[in-house]
Structure 1
Amino acid sequence: MRLAHAADIHLGHRQYGLSQREVDARLSFQKFLSQARKHDADAILIPGDLFDSRDIRPETLQQTENILEDVQMSVIVSPGNHDENMSRRRSLTWLQYLNNRGLVTLLSGDLTTDRASFAPTDTDDPRKGGGGYVDLKRDGELVRCFGLQYRGAYIERDLPAVTDGIQAVNDTEVEPDVTILLAHFGVDDAVPDLGANISRSALTDLEDLVDYIALGHIHKQYESGTVAHNPGSLEAFNIKEGRWSDEHGYYIYDTQTETADHHLSKRRPYVTLNFDVSGFRTFEDLRAEFEDEVANARTDVEDTCRRSIYRDGTGGRRRPLINLRLEGTLLLDHATFDVETLTDIIEEELDALYTQPTNHTERKAVQELLGDLERNEAFNPDGTVNTDALQDRVFTTLAGESRYSGETDAVADTLDRTEKLVNKNNQSTVEVAEFLRERRRELFPDGQGAEDDEEVAE
């Protein structure tokens, strides 16, 4: 038996507010279904986030129904975090609606007791609910698919109960030839920096019982151990995902050969352009250099757009999404640094669908103030200034240049604590004044700065 496994479809998602990006998600899904047919798949596995939102637009639902009505194989889904809310469950979700219409088989477990419960699916009457597992049969082979809904931070705690629940079903019913679990979580050994939910060791007992874990949730392709597979989303939905050029797609799992082959999905191209703003004292000079660099980048952009996975259904060019990454030391002030003009140049010269700028520049004044601080201390991971580090350097500079330079570090610490009293603890001026008096007495017992007490009191 062959099973086609995709996840994180996010139908209805309008990235950057663009209706074309919603169309892209739908086209990628349709292309995946078409490829599944070419691979002679017997069923489709979608472990979470078929939809981008629990409140999808009516036209999104209608288009999804039209797509699924044409699928000539079982479509088995489990809920992801975008499909339903863990804390406020609705009496009817859109996945349940599609299940009730017979367009998908929705699987999820009952985790209200110490051992998870997986009810059988009544395939003759889908309106009774998808249940917790469904049996697929072909040429004498029995494949049993279990579904687990998104559990967030609770998933690692729940996995032993899930393992016990699967074992209980297989002990009670006919032993399947192959056992599969659909689930929506990440494994930290493979993607430690992408919000994974469980440790690698938490999968050990489950791996002894299950032949294939069809994962979703993380939009980057990875495998963990021998049975856990995550295909990555079909489309890239942000700049970071766009850089994972060969890590989006789907799996074809062959139960006879016990092999899982990853295939790249058709999607819109993402390209990152880097531009260093250092050294330019007028925007006109910066713009002229920028236009030259964009022109020089055209060949590389077109080479990317020519890759087969990025072409449209007729083999034509798809307009790329561009990430303009601005870096270096900015000498211009914000009033003259016209980023919108730069994005317009890209969209015109490279025929881009959309350009998303990310600003990793450093202001000259800030850079001088931060001095010899290490970059990872002075700046946050997203490129913005670490205001705590900046504030500390400001206070240290002020203290060192004042008449209190003999106690520079202590005075800087006092300024920092004073700022927190005012802005974070909402202390009154009387309480702040008393704190400053006490600190003066501690640091300058000889009376230095006593005149400041009078100014504070006033």
Structure 2
Amino acid sequence: MRLAHAADIHLGHRQYDLSQRESDVRLAFEHFLKKTREHDVTAILIPGDLFDSRDVSPKTLKRAESLLADVEVPVLVSPGNHDQSMSTRRELTWLQYLNDSGLVTLLSGTPRDEPAFVRTDLAEPRQGGGGFVDIESDGETVRCFGVPYRGAYIDTDLPKVADGIRAVEEREGPADTTVLLAHFGVDDAVPDLGATVKRAWLTPIEERVDYLALGHIHKQYETGTVGRNPGSLEALDIQEGRWDEAHGYYVFDTEDGTAEHRLSHRRPYHTMSFDVSDYRTFEDLRVEFAAALDDERPSVERTCEREIHCDGNGNRRAPVVNVRFVGTLLLDHGSFDVEALRDLAADRLDAIHVQPTNNTERKAIAELLGDVERDEAFDADGTVNTDVLQERVFTTIAGESRYSAETEAVARTLDELEGLVTNEGEGVSEVADYLGERRRELFPDGAAESGDEPAGADVETGDGAETGETASDDAASEGRTSQQTLDARGSE
């Protein structure tokens, strides 16, 4: 028999507060259900996040019920993190409601209980959901288990899940094919997406199941011999929009054990970059940006013309466009009118929405950071890494002061001073004591650089040596200067 596997449907998701984007999510699910009829599947597997929120709106619930009522094969669902709350247990979730209404079969085994998996039935699902169900067709039995999203607890749950499956096999006898629905990511497959399960933890599961139907990560991947994650049907944010071939569903053939990934129908996404460097007036930048949009349009149209991005009648759908502004910005912040550029892009590219991403660098900050690697100097969202900037500010101040003979040590002292004030809330006297002690450590003879007065000469106090208080005042002044520099940089 064939099983269709989709995940992370997120019915009700409303990106950019656009009603069209909410409709896109529903249409992607509707198209998937239509395809399952063409594939002649025996059942549908959805391991988590059928809904975008556990607080489902009446409109979203009504549409879900309408779509599911037309499905002629069993729809097996396990709970995802968006379908339930980890902190508070409700008497009835919407998945349990759909299960009790006969529209889905909820599989939500609890590995921490005994027994971990209790049987449910396709014709009359167990009230509130069960742990496993047998699907029988032409003398073949496919046994499907399901577990809820468990977050960080999944590492201790997985061995118990394997033990629970083994207990059912001993009690009920083996099935021809065993399937597990679960909602978690695997770190070796998608290490940059915050996955929670280490690859080695799946070993006991792989010994018990023939197909591991995964959800949670919205990007398609395969892991081990049995793990399959189809990716969400619709891209739900800009990053997901860039995963061009990684959204869809699987068709699993139990006879030969093959699983084929199929692309889903979704709204077209397009990402373009524009370098803002060298433009000294906004008008010059705007004119060149308009020309860049005209050059980009053929590429946008090729994306929109793909069959998977067209509507049900094969017509073009307006794209979501991400414009990444990069380079060194010479204009002041107030002159860089991102909203005007967004409107221009929406008009030139016939986009349903344009989402700008400002990854530009301010000229002053770029000069300050100098040769620091961009990956180190800027966070993933394009904002300046303030820790790196602060380190460079302190190093610059120390190197250009009378204390340049110990630049690195003085820069560290300024950094520690900032921590004492902002993180530990130390007062003036404590800071002065600390600075006096550090100066005596670094400059025991009282000389900060070759041009200083020799030890023992009258310096301000007239009594033979500069006092710790005067040293503290100097260093405190350096600290104030560093903070003022940071404040100025941050306001640009």
Tell me the TM-score normalised to structure 2 length: 0.90
Identical aligned pairs, as a percentage?
Answer: 63
Contact conserved, 2:4 with 2:252, CA < 8 A, in 1? yes
Q: What is the aligned partner in structure 1 of residue 193 from structure 2?
A: 194
Structure 1 position 112, deviation (Å)? 2.1
In 2, are the aligned partners of 1:122 and 1:129 still within 8 Å (CA)? no
Superimposed CA distance per residue, residues 35-75 of structure 1 (whole angstroms, 9 cap, x where no aligned partner):
00111111110000001111121111111111111111111
Separation in 2, partners of 1:186, 1:70? 31
Cα contact 1:42–1:73 (8 A) shared by 2: yes
Residue 227 (structure 2) pairs with residue 228 (structure 1): yes
Contact 1:3–1:254 (8 Å) recurs in 2: yes
Q: Which residue of 1 aligns with 2:82?
A: 82
Are 1:400 and 2:399 counterparts?
yes
Tell me by how many angstroms 1:379 deviates.
Answer: 1.6
1:447 Cα offset (Å): 3.8
1:112 maps onto 2:112 in alignment: yes
The 3 A distance-change label for structure 1 pair 6 and 453 is closer
- 8 Å CA contact 2:3–2:253 kept in 1: the answer is yes
- The verdict on how the C-alpha distance between 1:278 and 1:145 changes in structure 2, with shifts beyond 3 A counting, is same
How far is 1:124 from its partner? 4.7
Q: Which amino acid in 1 is paired with 2:283?
A: E
Give the letter for the 1:211 counterpart.
Answer: D
Aligned-residue offset at 1:24: 0.5
Q: Which moved more, 1:447-456 or 1:333-342?
A: 447-456
Root-mean-square deviation (Å): 1.7
Residue aligning to 1:171: 170
The whole-number CA distance in structure 2 between the counterparts of 1:457 and 1:33 is: 68
* Residue matched to 1:289: 288
1:431 corresponding residue in structure 2? 430
- Matched length: 457
CA distance in 2, matches of 1:120, 1:457: 71
SS at match of 1:271: strand
- Written as runs of structure 1 = structure 2, the 5 A alignment for 1:418-457 is 418-447=417-446, 450=467, 451-453=470-472
Q: Does 1:302 align with 2:301?
A: yes
Q: Which digits, 9 at most, give the CA deviation of each residue in 1:294-353, with x for residues without a partner?
A: 001111100110000000111111110001011111111111001111110110011101
Tell me the residue number matched to 2:450: none
TM-score by length of 1: 0.96
CA distance in 2, matches of 1:303, 1:218: 27
Q: Give the whole-Å Cα distance in 2 for the aligned partners of 1:343 and 1:152.
A: 38
- Structure 1 183/454 Cα, relative in aligned 2: closer, same or farther at 3 Å? closer
Instruction: Mark the CA change 1:124 to 1:304 in structure 2 (over 3 Å): closer, same or farther.
Output: closer
Q: Is the 8 A contact 1:276 1:327 kept in 2?
A: yes
Aligned partners of 2:359 and 2:383 also within 8 Å: yes
Equivalent residue runs for 1:189-338 within 5 Å: 189-338=188-337
In 2, the alpha carbon distance for the partners of 1:328 and 1:430 equals 45
Query: Following the alignment from structure 1 to structure 2, what is the Cα–Cα distance between the partners of residues 36 and 66?
Result: 17
Equivalent position of 2:62 in the other structure: 62
The Cα shift of 1:402 comes to: 1.3
Task: Indicate if the aligned counterparts of 1:122 and 1:128 stay in contact, CA closer than 8 A.
Answer: no
Question: What are the Cα deviations for residues 67-104 of structure 1, in whole angstroms up to 9, with x where unaligned?
Answer: 11111111100001111112222111111111111111
Compute the displacement of 1:143 (Å): 0.8
- The answer on 1:17 being equivalent to 2:17 is yes
Matches of 1:253 and 1:106, distance apart in 2? 20
Distance in 2, Cα, partners of 1:181 & 1:322: 37
Superposition deviation, residue 452 in structure 1 = 4.0
Q: CA deviation at 1:455?
A: 7.4
Q: Deviations over 1:264-284 (max 9, x none)?
A: 000000000110001100001
Instruction: State which drifts further: 398-407 or 316-325.
Output: 398-407
Deviation at 1:444, TM superposition (A): 2.5
Q: What CA deviation, in whole Å up to 9, does each residue of 1:137-196 have, x standing for no partner?
A: 111111110001111122122111101100110111132111100011112221121122
Instruction: Check conservation: 1:101, 1:127, Cα contact below 8 A.
Output: no
| Separation of aligned partners in 1, 2:79 and 2:398 | 57
SS in 1 for 2:279: coil
Q: In the alignment, is the contact (CA less than 8 A) between 2:277 and 2:328 conserved in 1?
A: yes
Alpha-carbon distance in 2 for matches of 1:174, 1:130 = 22
Counterpart in 2 of 1:49? 49
Structure 1 unmatched ranges of 5 or more: none
Residue of structure 1 in register with 2:351 after alignment = 352
Q: Is the 8 A contact 1:116 1:161 kept in 2?
A: no
Report if the CA contact (8 A) 1:11-1:25 is conserved: yes
Unaligned runs of 5+ in 2: 448-465, 478-492
- 1:414 aligned to 2:392? no
The CA distance in 1 between the partners of 2:180 and 2:398, in whole Å, is 62
